[in-house]
A and B are shown apart, each in its own frame.
Chain A
Amino acid sequence: DSGVTQTPKHLITATGQRVTLRCSPRSGDLSVYWYQQSLDQGLQFLIQYYNGEERAKGNILERFSAQQFPDLHSELNLSSLELGDSALYFCASSAPSGRGSGNTIYFGEGSWLTVV
């Protein structure tokens, strides 16, 4: 158990709908990351938050948005869903970094999203 909690574990929804994925980071971690993993694909970085503020942005679609709340949990909102959005969405967290990089990133179990 990495200590990163994600809900829901599985989700099936129809095209055009909107879903929200939730993540609770490890205790004490300030950074939250979202990654998308499609079938037979690698891990695509979507977005990072640090202590409530957006820190880095990857290939996140405009239909997707995220936020990190004061209690440090994060939500990833996916709207106008398309079949191609079906994927495993991982949340990850890492310990506070004074500056720079190099802190271990711990992944949650992921949320399986199936768009039908």
Chain B
Amino acid sequence: GENVEQHPSTLSVQEGDSAVIKCTYSDSASNYFPWYKQELGKRPQLIIDIRSNVGEKKDQRIAVTLNKTAKHFSLHITETQPEDSAVYFCAACPTGGGNKLTFGTGTQLKVEL
């Protein structure tokens, strides 16, 4: 089955700096890679996703890049703000996998003033 590794487990940045979270996946058949943000005690919320036919996708301060050859994808947050502080999860979904997501272990992002 699919295995997703996520790094770092914790990340602390100064407000206004950029944050980068990286994930690798094992199943070359994976073709859908969403990123979820989870605030303490709340539900995970989709913030951006990318499909395997695209190398990069951007939405305002958030961008995701995908390298299929290396089987890794990254989340980039620019101009970080205190409200970006949360746990971020990457996930991968294989073709024909029935939409079953395998999640990474999460990154606790803290944006300091």
Asked whether, in the complex, the Cβ of B43 is within 8 Å of the Cβ of A43, the reply is: no
CB-defined contacts of B94 to chain A, threshold 8 Å: 101
Kindly identify which residue among B42, B49, B96, B99 contacts A31, using a CB–CB cutoff of 8 Å.
B99
Asked whether, in the complex, the Cβ of A102 is within 8 Å of the Cβ of B93, the reply is: yes
Task: Give the contacts of A87-116 with B (CB-CB under 8 A).
Answer: 88, 90, 94, 97, 99-110
Complex CA–CA separation, A88 to B42 (angstroms): 10
- B contacts with A, residue count (CB < 8 A): 27
Query: Across the two chains, which residue of chain B brings its CB closest to A55?
Result: B98
Complex CA–CA separation, A105 to B94 (angstroms): 14
Q: How many A-B residue pairs have CB under 8 A?
A: 71
Minimum CB–CB distance from A1 to chain B (whole Å) comes to 10
Complex CA–CA separation, A103 to B51 (angstroms): 10
- A contacts with B, residue count (CB < 8 A): 27
Asked whether, in the complex, the Cβ of A90 is within 8 Å of the Cβ of B44, the reply is: yes
Q: Does B20 have its Cβ within 8 Å of any Cβ on chain A?
A: no
Asked whether, in the complex, the Cβ of A101 is within 8 Å of the Cβ of B45, the reply is: no
Asked whether, in the complex, the Cβ of B49 is within 8 Å of the Cβ of A101, the reply is: no
Kindly identify which residue among B32, B93, B103 contacts A43, using a CB–CB cutoff of 8 Å.
B103
Asked whether, in the complex, the Cβ of A106 is within 8 Å of the Cβ of B46, the reply is: yes
Interface residues of B (CB under 8 A from A): 31-32, 34, 36, 41-46, 49, 51, 89, 93-106
Q: A48-B98, A100-B96, A101-B94 are in contact. List 10 more A-B contacts (CB 8 A).
A: A42-B103, A42-B105, A42-B106, A101-B31, A101-B32, A101-B97, A101-B99, A104-B49, A105-B34, A106-B46
**What are 23 inter-chain pairs, A to B, with CB distance below 8 A?**
A2-B43, A2-B45, A42-B103, A42-B104, A42-B105, A50-B98, A55-B100, A56-B98, A94-B99, A100-B97, A101-B93, A101-B98, A102-B31, A102-B32, A102-B51, A102-B93, A102-B99, A104-B49, A105-B34, A105-B99, A107-B43, A107-B44, A107-B45
